[in-house]
Amino acid sequence: MSDSIKKVSIIISKGSLEGIYPGLIMANGARAEGIEANLFFTFFGLDAINAKRLDRIKVAAVGNPGMHMASLLGVLPGMSAIATHMMQKKMEAFDIPGIPEFMEMIADSGCGMYACKASADLFGFSKDDFIDQVQDIITVGEFYLKAAGGEIIFT
């Protein structure tokens, strides 16, 4: 029996640029390796699939330990926008697609995309609020059924 991973289910719970991209990169990498992948968006991670918010995802400049000195300046007006612009420029230089394009690529590769029902209900979202690539709004129990037999990764 092979020890290789056959399936991953990735939970995205943060709505910032640095909270969303790790899950997208991991899902894309899994699909590129022929591994079944599902993305489960919960709590503020719903911003990644919210059609109205998707184009306004920013870097969290305040309270982000990875921002080092910029975190101290993060309270100043416009710092989050500046940090986001700088990060997007770096990502473009490495040919990393924007979130909308990345979502489409990953979905086209066969990755399942699901919204958390409890979080969607909490924030008053319906399936109409989400991008077309979202297959359904499911409960945590339904997510566990989809994840059964694979690895669960929380980003």
Residues 59-87 have a mean pLDDT of 64
**Prediction pTM value:** 0.87
Token readout for 113 is 């995309």
Residue indicated by tokens 């059924």: 145
% pLDDT > 70, the chain: 87
- The Cα–Cα gap between 18 and 80 comes to 12
Q: Is residue 112 part of a domain?
A: yes
Q: Is residue 20 part of a domain?
A: yes
Q: Is residue 2 part of a domain?
A: no
Q: Is residue 47 part of a domain?
A: yes
Strands 136-138 and 36-41: unpaired
Residues 55-69 have a mean pLDDT of 68
Q: How confident is the model at residue 59 (pLDDT cuts 50, 70, 90)?
A: confident
- The Cα–Cα gap between 155 and 45 comes to 10
CA trace torsion 129, 13, 48, 122 (10° rounding): 20
Q: Which domain holds residue 138?
A: 14-147
User: Of residues 93 and 135, which shows the higher confidence score?
Assistant: 135
Q: What is the CATH number of the domain that holds 93?
A: 3.40.1260.10
Give the per-residue pLDDT at 125.
98
Give the per-residue pLDDT at 73.
56
The sign of the torsion formed by the CA atoms of 109, 26, 15, 80 equals negative
Q: Is residue 8 part of a domain?
A: no
Q: What one-letter code names the amino acid at 105?
A: M
What is the total count of domains within the chain?
1
Residues 105-127 pLDDT 10s: 999 999 999 999 999 999 999 99
Give the per-residue pLDDT at 58.
87
Please name every residue paired with 50 in a beta bridge, in sequence order, or none if there are none.
130
pLDDT at 128 exceeding the cut of 70: yes
